[in-house]
Amino acid sequence: MSRIRAALLREPEQELEIEEVDLGDLEPDEIRVRVHSSGVCHTDLSGIAGVVPLPYPAVLGHEGAGTVVEVGDAVVDLAVGDRVAVSFASCGECEPCMSAHPAYCEIFAALNYFGTRLDGSTTMCQGELEVHGNFFGQSSFATELITAARNAVALPDDFPLELAGPLGCGLLTGAGTVRNVLQLTERDSVAVFGIGTVGLASVMAAAVAGCRTIIAVDLSADRLELARELGATHVVDASVSDDVVWDVMAVEPAGVDAAIDAVGLEVVIQQGLECLAVRGTLATLGLQGLENPVTVNQGHILLGRTITGVIEGDAQPRELIPVMIDWWRQGRFPIERLVEVFPFDALQEALAATASGRVIKPVVEMP
């Protein structure tokens, strides 16, 4: 048992309070990580808003990075002192996990949202009170966390820890969608709707893939400028456009081969579908709640068009995170352009910066 500090959500729509908490003992397959820093993601805001039902009190945060300080008896692939990024949890034993699709783990919800281990025990407590860690298998808004070793990815010594957390969720989602799901190449054109972390990771990965046309669509001129610097060949400012689909088609008259929706709103999903070429694919990634009905024109998708949802880029963290680090080394994935670091005590400010969109990827650094 160790005494840590963690940000507690006592009930939905409340501020997170940083309090002293006890972290329990390890199960054989788990590791204890001293958290260096954690990214802040829109899914944390969804957790606070109660969009994802959680048991309370809960500790959010799911883009943790830090140093391994203890390993369970059965852990063979990580050791004390290893620097790691912690990604989403998967079981490793079901059919999707065994066939390289851990984001579609059959027990994903139980492992990532229920706030306990599968046996019902919690990793954190305050005296008699059970504190629900285990958010995305980690709960990284804390000075230390417990996670299953399989959720952690070892990092090379030269990679900055304050950039590492977002590799486990937001960046993984965008890069994995381009690389694993859409499998874009230099022959392809792509339109990316919503230029936050996921959208920018999509733009950068499409640039790495050599896509001949990369069109960024957003409401913010600043974000579109950044997208251009990071690889977009064209931009569409939806805040001034009379017709976003028309503007995308002005660049690619036959439509784009792929569209990525990093927003999740019906209007954006419809625009993404409408600007597709025949046989094109729309990948929809934005989370707007578990009930989000969308009307699509069946006549339009009859022409070989596909709409698919994607979780976590359909990625295997231990495969894709090292790839993204290689891209970063080559200067093609400059994560530091997205990140602003806040002290842990300013977590509330970092959450507000995520909500307002002032900062693309706030990262909180533990003391």
Which residues of the shown chain bind Zn ion in the complex (CB under 5 A)?
41, 43, 90-91, 94, 97, 105, 169
> Cβ 193 to Zn ion, closest distance in Å?
18
Considering beta carbons, is residue 17 or 95 the nearer one to Zn ion? 95
Which one, 44 or 144, has the nearer CB to Zn ion?
A: 44
Specify the residue, 194 or 280, whose C-beta has the smaller distance to Zn ion. Answer: 194
23 vs 169 by CB, closer to Zn ion? 169
- Least Å distance, CB 97 to Zn ion, is 3
Query: Which position has the token pair 């579908």?
Result: 273
Structure tokens at 45: 């805001």
Q: Nearer to Zn ion by C-beta: 91 or 153?
A: 91
Minimum CB–partner distance for residue 34 and Zn ion (Å): 21
CB of 256 to Zn ion, least distance (A): 26
> Minimum Å distance from CB 198 to Zn ion?
9
Q: Which is nearer to Zn ion, 43 or 271 (CB)?
A: 43
Smaller CB distance to Zn ion: residue 206 or 285?
A: 285
Query: Phi and psi dihedrals of 103, rounded to 5?
Result: -70, -15
Backbone angles phi, psi at 27, to 5 degrees: -80, 165
Q: Are 341 and 319 in contact (CB under 8 A)?
A: no
Q: Quote the tokens at residue 60.
A: 């959010």
CB of 136 to Zn ion, least distance (A): 7
Residue 55 phi, psi (nearest 5): -80, 145
Taken in order 101, 106, 110, 111, is the CA torsion positive or negative? Answer: negative
Smallest separation, CB 283 to Zn ion (Å): 16
Looking at the Cβ atoms of 169 and 325, the one nearer to Zn ion is 169
**Which residues are bridge partners to 240 per DSSP?**
none
Helix (H) or strand (E) holding 58: strand 58-59
Give 97 or 320: the residue with its C-beta nearer to Zn ion: 97
Given its phi and psi angles, is residue 134 left (phi above 0), alpha (psi -120 to 50 degrees) or beta?
A: left
Rounded Cα distance between 172 and 190, Å, is 18
CB-CB contact of 289 with 316 (8 Å): no
Residue 130, phi then psi, degrees to nearest 5: -75, 130
User: Going by C-beta distance under 8 Å and a sequence separation of 6 or more, which residues neighbour residue 299?
Assistant: none
Of 312, 218, 212, 307, which is closest to residue 254 (Cα–Cα)?
A: 212
Residues shown for the chain:
367
Q: How far is the CB of 108 from Zn ion (least distance, A)?
A: 7
Q: How many CA atoms lie within 13 A of 117 on its CB side?
A: 15
Q: In the bound complex, what is the minimum distance in angstroms from residue 94's beta carbon to Zn ion?
A: 3
